[in-house]
Structure 1
């Protein structure tokens, strides 16, 4: 099994992005699955092509995109991607879409194929805060989440895909009083636990079954 895991480069005024830093430190193999690591640009009109090229090259079974969600307290597997780009700020190319549809005449939203509740339980079992999220926002994180789902529908029907948001790193909140943060070590620990849950559910053949409640 191969899992393509992506992380964004720094954006806005930050010099670091926990997403790519955590991805780079993931083990090369988790529960027997090969982990392929990829840095992607925080750019609406470029990120999807970078991921599509990587899917064509590596032929992964899963695609897991990781992004930063400043202000969140927990590691949050995402449930749904929406067909909307609406940038609070411009991306790294200076582009700031406002209320823009990503693709015409396709789904308003896509649900992940990943076992997000099992992933959340696994992260918590590792001793870290985690919660299922029902909004990936409208910035480049949601954009790539939606775009990979679109690619799955149109080009790569055999892959399963999803998204996880992680909080700021401690050094990012020095000038952001009362803002939560999580260490890079804990990010890696949490993401590893989530990926292990994906592999374990896949090995049981019930990756898409209805999961139990989680609070």
Structure 2
């Protein structure tokens, strides 16, 4: 079983492309014979983690890919690391705005993804979708969810997971604007490529810097 998650709209946006991409990728993968479910998460600190944990417990997936919106980025971002820090620049959908608060009290400082993000990067780019490995998932609800996921998977041997950020969809950007966007269909193709690549790789323990992957420079200078 594969679990995909996306978020409800936030920050005054009329939609959240992460949820649209999750649904579309689910349908693509189901058509290929994969068992896939999708869950929409609230853009709320704490509540997002609770819904995710319930989905993990109910579905018992072997692979989890959480998806979030990163408005302003121009590429699908394969996130490398989640940090144990909530530091919200804007309130969440319930009005919460934590500052310098741990996601999990006394938890590890960070968790690495257990997805083969370098191999997935090549697969996404081969599908014609611009992509990158990202070194930060921020400190908002996306990172909160990513950290919660990896903390949960640390006690579920053999279950792999990670987080992918997607840009704005074209409908969210004013025509002629310099703000980058990407069609939801392209986002879905990228997510499907990440899933296929992850399924094809041998399982590795959560928390290692480089799970079964390819040797490819995809870091950053800053």
Q: Same fold (TM over 0.5)?
A: yes
Alpha-carbon offset, residue 211 of structure 1: 2.6
Aligned 8 A contact 1:30 1:192 in 2? no
SS at match of 2:58: helix
Describe the superposition over 1:66-106 as per-residue Cα deviations: whole angstroms up to 9, x where unpaired.
00000111001100000000111000111011111112222
Corresponding residue to 1:213 among 204, 211, 216: 216
Check the 8 A contact 1:30/1:195 in 2, yes or no: no
Task: Say which SS state the counterpart of residue 99 (structure 1) adopts.
Answer: coil
Distance 2:131 2:49 in 1: 27
Q: What number of residue pairs does the alignment pair up?
A: 210
Please state whether the residue corresponding to 2:52 is helix, strand or coil.
helix
CA distance in 2, matches of 1:184, 1:88: 26
Matches within 5 A, 1:101-116: 101-116=102-117
Q: Match for residue 12 of structure 1?
A: 11
Q: Distance in 2 between the 1:125 and 1:143 partners?
A: 30
8 Å contact 1:113–1:161 — kept in the other structure?
yes
Instruction: Could you tell me which runs of 5 or more consecutive residues in structure 1 were left unpaired when the two chains were aligned.
Output: none
Alignment partner, residue 29 of structure 1? 30
User: How many Å separate the matches in 1 of 2:107 and 2:202?
Assistant: 28
Q: 2:69, 2:16 → 1: CA distance?
A: 7
Could you tell me how far apart the structure 1 residues matched to 2:186 and 2:213 are?
28
Measure how far apart 1:173 and its partner are. Answer: 1.2
User: Which residue of 2 is the match for residue 150 of structure 1?
Assistant: 151
Mapped partners of 1:31, 1:163: distance in 2? 22
Superposition deviation, residue 166 in structure 1: 0.4
Alignment correspondent of 1:55: 56
In structure 2, do the counterparts of structure 1 residues 108 and 122 end up closer, same or farther at CA, with 3 Å as the change threshold? same
Q: TM-score, normalised by structure 1?
A: 0.92
- 3-state SS of paired residue (1:65): strand
Closer, same or farther: CA 87–176 of 1 in aligned 2, 3 Å? farther
C-alpha displacement of 1:176: 8.7
Does the aligned pair in 1 maintain the 2:201–2:212 contact within 8 Å? no
User: How far off its partner does 1:209 sit?
Assistant: 2.4
Cα deviations across residues 118-143 of structure 1 (Å, max 9, x unaligned)? 11110100011001001000000000
- Pairwise CA RMSD: 1.8
Residue 153 of structure 1: CA displacement? 2.2
